[in-house]
Amino acid sequence: MALKAKSKRIQSPPGKRARKAKFQADLAPAEDRTMRVLKEELQLTSNTDFLSDALALFRWAVSERKLGHRIISESVSGERQVLMFPRLERVAPDLALPRVEIQWTERELESLAQLASAPKADPPTEALIRAMRD
**Digit-coded pLDDT (tens) for 58-82:** 999 999 999 989 999 999 999 999 9
Kindly state whether residue 131 falls inside one of the protein's structural domains.
no
Kindly state whether residue 43 falls inside one of the protein's structural domains.
yes
Contact of 38 with 50, CB cutoff 8 Å = yes
Kindly state whether residue 100 falls inside one of the protein's structural domains.
no
Contact of 89 with 61, CB cutoff 8 Å = no
Residue 74, domain extent: 27-94
Contact of 24 with 6, CB cutoff 8 Å = yes
Mean pLDDT value of segment 14-23: 78
How many H helices and E strands in the chain?
5, 4
Give the model confidence (pLDDT) of 80-92 as tens digits. 999 988 888 888 8
Kindly state whether residue 10 falls inside one of the protein's structural domains.
no
- Give how many domains the chain has, as a whole number: 1
Q: How confident is the model at residue 6 (pLDDT cuts 50, 70, 90)?
A: low
pLDDT, residue 126, reads 87
Kindly state whether residue 16 falls inside one of the protein's structural domains.
no
